[in-house]
Structure 1
Amino acid sequence: MKRVAAVLSVGLAAFSVAGCSEESPGEAMTSNSSVPGSIAPTSQSAPSDSVLPHSGAPAVVDPLPESVLSDHPCDVLTPEQVQKALGAGASTGSPSDLEQVGPGCDWGNMESFGGMQIGFSIVSREGLSAQYANTKPQVKVFRESVSVGGFPAVAYKASENDLMCTVAVGLADEYSISVTVTLSAEKEAEGVDSCVPAEKVAEMVVGNLKAKAGE
């Protein structure tokens, strides 16, 4: 139980750091700064009025309309999709909104000790540029060649064997979504790369958002 609570908190912390680019060091992680494995904010962020994209982030050529993010992240996956991602015994979504970033939702499975967090980064208006400016300098693993549903994406984690991975997808230059997945105890024992299930969940989320946009 403690393991699930801890990893979900870390996932929320990662969402916070990646999405916030205007805070001073330490401001974005007041409640999660002591969580093991969390990533502290830096002062290397680009100004909020920078031309997008910036910091090396790719441009989103064919963006989805922001209206696809009108629903809460807790409603972006069907119960069947949540169960597919986390297995039988998965919890219902619990809102984990962040004022500086946007709405978020946590799910966990107390039987398998797996968990995931989905967030919409809509406040900073920087999309994937926030990950390139804020997160890339802080993590050991930052994979830039990921594409999810035809949209540019990045996958990152604290280390290659980290049981938690976040995949961020740029739906437009100004806004993005993030999916943080924590491996179940079984998958961890099997040596599964935590970014693989994170990418699969991100594909489901983007697929649902594209369907909502009529694509």
Structure 2
Amino acid sequence: MHILVLDGNHVETEFREKFGSAHEYTFLHTAHGPERDEDAVQQVIDVAAATAAVAFFFPAQFAADAPYRLLAAATFPVFVETTCHSLADSLSDPKNGPTTGLFFGFCGLPTLLNRQLLEVSVFHEADHEQLAATCATLGTDFRVVADRVGLVTPRVICQIINEACFTVQEGTATMQDVDLGMKLGTNYPHGPFAWANAIGVPRVYRVLESLWNDTHDERYKICPLLKRQAQRGEPFAV
């Protein structure tokens, strides 16, 4: 199967590990500025899409509407990274293509893609059978979750990271103590601060910001410590 990935270069290693070497991969960077012509970018996408069997793309990563024109004409399943916005919201803007076709949301945050289950949401309820067939061809088990901002795992992990930031900010424990305690106490693969660094602190911040804007739930009110690190673009010192 030819897998087309738009603006997912930051998780290329995870994609290849997750789906294996039996597939062909094309990773394209679509964001453009004054030095990149939108039509030229679209032509590159069209060439790759001509032989693609499935596409994954990261709408938060690119600054242009060009990839959405691919969605308008896609005849294959398209998985949209939806940790910061629901799939319904992604497809509601007329500029972002029609709401027909095979669209699925998926969790594509670093460290959360290469897992046994692919975390997905559906746009059309009638597409469950096609989703199962596509995932079978990709060679992955999957779990359908509600089409909500944050999905399930990103919502939980980012909330834990945020609470850990409050703990450190209040002087209750050090980052190192929190990370060690979580690893030993919960058997998580990473402590909250190491996990935030692996995901990318700015990405964690964007997920929580999206959750707060969507729900205004106090659980997602962002800790100033996390906000400062994200604004600086710096990892936590662990």
TM-score above 0.5: no
Larger Rg: 2
TM-score, normalised by the number of residues in structure 1: 0.28
Higher helix residue share: 2
Higher strand residue share: 1
Q: Larger relative CO (CA 8 A, sep 6+): 1 or 2?
A: 1
TM-score, normalised by the number of residues in structure 2: 0.26
